[in-house]
Structure formats: structure tokens, C-alpha cells
Structure 1
């Protein structure tokens, strides 16, 4: 009898296990399926068009982000579905000039008094990290920006010119030293053979040394050594982690997995540790400098800013003021070297405007109108931040480009996609500086949608410094060297984006001019 009962209990247990497994399997299928059906047909954004899997689940978005293709994939979506596309269950991408004003702009005129759209916290904030000018809310940002703005003023730029100009002088000197190989003779001229230089690296070394001095009072020394500081290299190596970190957050797994991502991201840990040490050294200088961080240091005690708050803001300034400027310089260099007529025109403009390299200053480069057109066209063709910088619709919803959008929706204008749509631009994949010189061929282009430094109260605080630095570097290079691609058949633009670009080497031959 007992044996019979044991058999019965075993059978009942196995039956219950089968039921549990069946129920679990059903739930694993049913819950995501139900959620997808809700997203597709009952979600407040269900009326907006978009690809099936992007409307159904955030997973398609995250996969493409981590493949480094999302910035490009948004373009065909707009070409198929129009100026408003649902690229994730809770996110819309817009491609109209008005969308810039409605999403990012100041609340003036008929919009006066309306709540500004805050940054989408899932994208900008990470658990356990203190807020900065980049990630903080509107009031926090406004206070920090007012204090930091002194370092980006016209007066500050004039005082900083010897610092900036000194590093660009050093760049030119080092390029002259390194652009030939003294041990190899050119078989035609008998002179030392040209040596291939990776301009992505040289631009990075220059901009990081400049921003290092303007924030910490000392450079990284990359230009002097002609090699990456380990810290700068670690920052560049961590770009791919931007996609991973944002993917974890977008999928709602931040609390569960962010510790593992941070553990693997050794570059980020090194970055933070080194930055804290450099800031402490800058604070210990005990002297006032009209640089980019002085405004916050003056309020450090009054506002009770910890070293970690200073580190967060110093990090934001460091990345925004170096990596993106180097990216813009890399982009315009490639564009010019693959478009000989534009290169000829801008070179002629520089060499007829200036008689010596010393005449090329932060102020004097502002007269180079064709160069400015070249830079603007490069910023359109190769924006330093190809992604859309997301905002969140406030309570009560908002009207964006004539469309009412419910509260909590994530909205953005995606830079690269918006700048390459043939419904907005004439020959969008071409390179035409004349586009920005009122050439009638391009009169119908949607110039109002081109905002590479963003728009409104949270646009890039350092945009004027970036333009001046780009023009100064490019003018000095064109004045002092002839340039050509070392690998003319290599499509340098064919690379990935993980919020920022993951740039391959841009190998160039430089030939010094003889004066």
C-alpha cells in the first residue's frame, strides 16, 4: 500500500511539474505577445507609422544601436513613412524644421509659459552617477550654464588664444617633423619619402591637449609625444560601451545589469579616477584662470560642490570640447580631400588672405567665408553626433510640427538621417559648400533642420569655440601643407556610430610648403 502511495505521489508531483513548466512557457510567450499587441494597436502612439518590430518592441532599436547602424537606419524609415516615424514603442523621430523649435526651442511667442521638454533621463542619466550640465534638469542646467558661460565668452576666447594657438603651432611643427621618413628616399625627387599620418589621431591629440589646458591647467602631452595618452585612448575605446549602456537602460535592465557593464568598462573607471586627480591638482593651483572650469570653482564652496560634481561637469566639457571637434576636423579633411575643387578653392582663399602663418588667428579666420561653407557642409554630411538627442514630452502633451503628441513620449530630430533625406536636401550625399553660399541650385534645401550644435536653451555652450578652433586648425594646415589621401579608394565614411562615431584611421600624406 505504501509503495502504491509513493507511486501516486510521484505521479502527482510530475504532473504538477508538467503544469508548472507548461504554465511558465505559456507566460513567457503570452506576456511579451500581449505587450506587443498593446504597443501595436492600443498604445497612445499606435496611430503613428513605423516599422513593425520598432513599433512592437524596443528590442529592434537596441539591437541596431549596438550594431552601430541605428543612426543610418532611421533614414529609410523616414523615406518610407514620412516626416514623423515611430522608431520605438514610446519614441518618435521628426524631420521638419519646426520640430527643432517645438522640441528643443525656447518657449516664446505663442508658446510662452509652456513647459520646456526635459532631457529623456533614461538616455542621459545612469544610476549612481551625479548630475552634470549634460544630464541635469532644466533649473540645474541653467544655473551651471550661467556660471560656466564666462569661460566661453568672447573675452575668455581672446585671453585663451595664446593657449589654443600655442598647441596649434605645436601641431604644425610636429606634422612637419613626422610627415617625411628621413631613412627612405623618394625615387623620383631623391628627397625623404612622405610618411603616412593618421589625422584622426593628430586631431584628437590637439583637441584633447587644448581642452586639457583649458579645464585642468595642463595638457595631456599627446602632441609633444606624438602618441595617445593612455587616458585619451581609454576614452576613445569606451565609445562602443555607449550603445551597450543605453541598450541596458532602454530595456529596463539598468538595476539588474548596469553593475556588470560598469565592471567591464575599464576605460570609464580609469577616466573617472584620472579626472578626479587632475581636478584636485587644478584646484590646488590656488590662482584664478579665465578658463572653462573657473566659473564652477568659484562657486565650489558656496554651492557645496563635491569633487564628484566637478568631475562630472569636467568630463562633460572634456568630451564635448575635444572628441566632437576632432571628429568635425576629421570629417572636413576627408570631404575636402575627396572633392578636389572644394579643396582648391578653400586653399586659395587661405593663401590669398594670409601672407604668413602668424597672421592666422582665432579672430582673423572669421573672414574665411568659403571655409565656413566647407565646415557647415561637412557638419551636414558628417555631423559629430549622428544620433537624435531625446527629449520627453511634459504632462498634458505637446504639439510638435502640427501633431499632438501625448505626455511622456520620447521625441527627437535625428541628425544624420535628417541631413541625408532627399526630400529635404538637393543631392544630400554629395558635398557642396556652395549650398551655404546662397547658390540658387540649393534654394529649396531645408536649412532650418540643420542644427549640428542643437537648438534652444540647451544648445552647445562651446559652439563658438569649436568653430574658431576648427577654422584655425584647418587654415594653418592648408597654409603650411599640401594634403592628399594615402588610401584614396578607401571609403572612410563607412563606419559605425554608437551615439558618437567609432572612427577608423584617416591616413594622409602631407607635403610641407616651401616659403
Structure 2
């Protein structure tokens, strides 16, 4: 029996290899001098768990309170809580390269402006539409946005007068999606007119897989596929995604490079028809969930404390 065939050799290797990784991460890794808890330097598993539980932000905030503005949160990751870091990380010279886990939010096989890792690739797409997000452009489109707000308020008042339970999140999500689509795409989704926002399950699906954001891409893909198969709401999710696909498909197929819309600008920049659809879908998700959630929370507090 050769030395490599010996069970004791494999046992020793099984013990020495993990121990070597731990020692390297703690004492010889380039980030070993960055303050942070030992468990974070050893493995990213704790961060995966916090992300799944939805407590990542508060847990990392607690680490900053203990260790300062720069904290090591995983063997290869540092979290910075300092406003001075925003420009060099996100905007100066296109910003930093993004971590591999951002690939988990690619859509239909395409990196989006959010998920693209390479700043050179990202800036090509961002430049095509960045003017639409300037303060002056948004002010110029104020009437479009106000019309959407008025429709939502009318429906909210109508439901409240009728003694109906008002689903604030459904209404504010509908408003967010209608405003984003009407202003940026030149065609409103008209979610406020729907009893229940048809894009809701589409948005929920993206929000849900955010629990697995930090996982390596190959693990994320397996988990996402397994979650989709086990989803009891699968039929509704597929119908919602089909509705969004049809809306986006019509937007892009009918657009031309001369259109001043989001999709028109993308096409003019040389972005393919298929990728432009993916970029529009990413915008619909991003523009619906965060805005809708914040508006619903504001309305809830206003209703709870009307004197304030």
C-alpha cells in the first residue's frame, strides 16, 4: 500500500488543509490586518446566514459600532461605512469592479447596469440613459409622475370611503411601477388600474432570491432552481413574468433609436434588442420594490399618527 493509499494520510490531509486555510486567512491574508471578528476572517458562511435571515444590515452595522468604519466581513470582503468612500468606489473613473456575487442578479443571461462587474462595460450602458435621471429631466417630467400619483390617491380614497381594507403596498408598488414606466419608457404599466398588481410576483421573486445574494454563482443557480421548483405559487409567478415579458417585449420591439425613451437610448447605444429588454426588466424591479416599500411605510406611519 502506497503512502497516498493510506487512510491515515487522507485523514491528516483532511485536518491539515482546513487548518492551513484558517491560519492563512487569520495571519497571512492581504486583509488580515483589517479589523473584524475572527469568524468572519475564517469563513463567509455567517454572512450567507445573515443574508438569508434578513439581518445582514443590522449585524454589519453592529460590527462597525465595535470595530470602526472599515470591517472585514468575510475572508475576501471588507465593508466600509464612510461617506468619503462613496465616490471612489461607485463613480470615480467608473467605480470599482464589482464582486462575483453580483452575477446572481443578471437577467435573461445579460449583466444589467446593476449586476455588470466591469465598470467599462457598465459605463457604456449607464451613459446612454444617465441624463434621464438628472434633477432637471425629472422636473421636466413632473406632470407625468404627478398624474400617476393622482390616480393612486383617487383609488386609495375610493377604497377607504367604501370601508375596504386598503392594501397600501399593492398601491404604492403600482404607483412606483407606473411612474417609472410612464416617465422612462414613455408608456405606463397601468398597475394602479389593476385589482392586484400583475407584476407583483415578478418583483417578489427577485426580492426573495436576494436572500442568497452572497452565494457563489454556481451555488446560487442551484438554489434558485430548487426554490422555483418547490414554490407553491409557481403558476402565478410564471404568469406574472409572462405579463412583464409581454409588456417589455412590446416596448422594445416598437422602439427606434430616435426615441428619447430609456429603451430607445439603449438601442441607439448599440445594445441588442434582447439585452435592452433585460435592462428594462431590471429597471422595473429596482424601481418598484424599494420605492413601493418606502412609500407604504410612510403612509402607514401617517395613518397611525395623523396628528404628526
- TM-score (ref. length: structure 1): 0.51
The equivalent residue for 2:191 is 222
Whether the aligned pair in 2 keeps the contact of 1:276 and 1:308 (CA below 8 Å) is no
Total equivalences in the alignment: 297
Query: What's the counterpart of residue 298 of structure 2?
Result: 332
- Separation of aligned partners in 2, 1:327 and 1:120: 26
Offset at residue 277 of structure 1 (A):
3.0
Deviation per residue, 1:330-356 (Å, 9 max, x gap): 333345556666x3xxxxxxxxxxxxx
| 1:424 matched residue in structure 2 | none
CA-atom RMSD, angstroms? 3.3
2:93 counterpart of 1:138: no
Who is 2:231 aligned against?
A: none
Task: Please state which structure has a larger fraction of its residues in helix.
Answer: 2
CA distance in 1, matches of 2:220, 2:131: 40
Task: Determine the C-alpha separation between the residues in 2 that align with 1:332 and 1:119.
Answer: 32
1:32-181 to structure 2, matched below 5 A, reads 32-106=18-92, 116-124=95-103, 129-136=109-116, 137-153=118-134, 156-157=137-138, 160-181=141-162
2:252–2:276: 8 Å Cα contact kept in structure 1?
no
Kept after mapping to 2: 8 A contact 1:55/1:88: yes
Quick check: 1:215–1:314 contact (8 Å CA) kept in 2?
no
SS of alignment partner, residue 243 of structure 1: helix
Deviations 1:24-60 (A, max 9, x none): 5544443223212211122111122212211111111
Paired with 2:9 and 2:286, the residues of 1 have a C-alpha distance of 51
Residue pair 1:151, 1:294 contacting (<8 A) in 2 also: no
Match of residue 273, structure 2, among 307, 312, 333: 307
Structure 2 residue 224 is matched with structure 1 residue 261 = yes
Aligned partners of 1:208 and 1:232 also within 8 Å: no
Distance 1:262 1:145 in 2: 30
| 1:444-459 → structure 2 map (5 Å cutoff) | none
The one of the two structures with greater contact order (alpha-carbon pairs below 8 A, sep at least 6) is 1
Q: Offset of 1:295 from its aligned partner? A: 1.2
CA distance in 2, matches of 1:124, 1:318: 18
Corresponding position of 1:232: 200
2:69 and 2:81 in contact (8 A); partners too: yes
Distance 1:151-1:94 versus aligned 2 partners, 3 A rule = closer
2:265 is aligned with 1:298: no
Rounded Cα–Cα distance in structure 2 between residues aligned with 1:225 and 1:259 = 34
Cα distance 1:269–1:37, how it changes in 2: closer, same or farther (>3 A)?
Answer: farther
In proportion to residue count, which structure has more strand? Answer: 1
Gaps of 5+ in 1: 1-11, 108-114, 182-193, 344-515
Deviations 1:279-304 (A, max 9, x none): 331234357654333211334xxx2x
Cα 1:318–1:126 shift into 2, 3 Å? closer
Conserved 8 A contact 1:54-1:88: yes
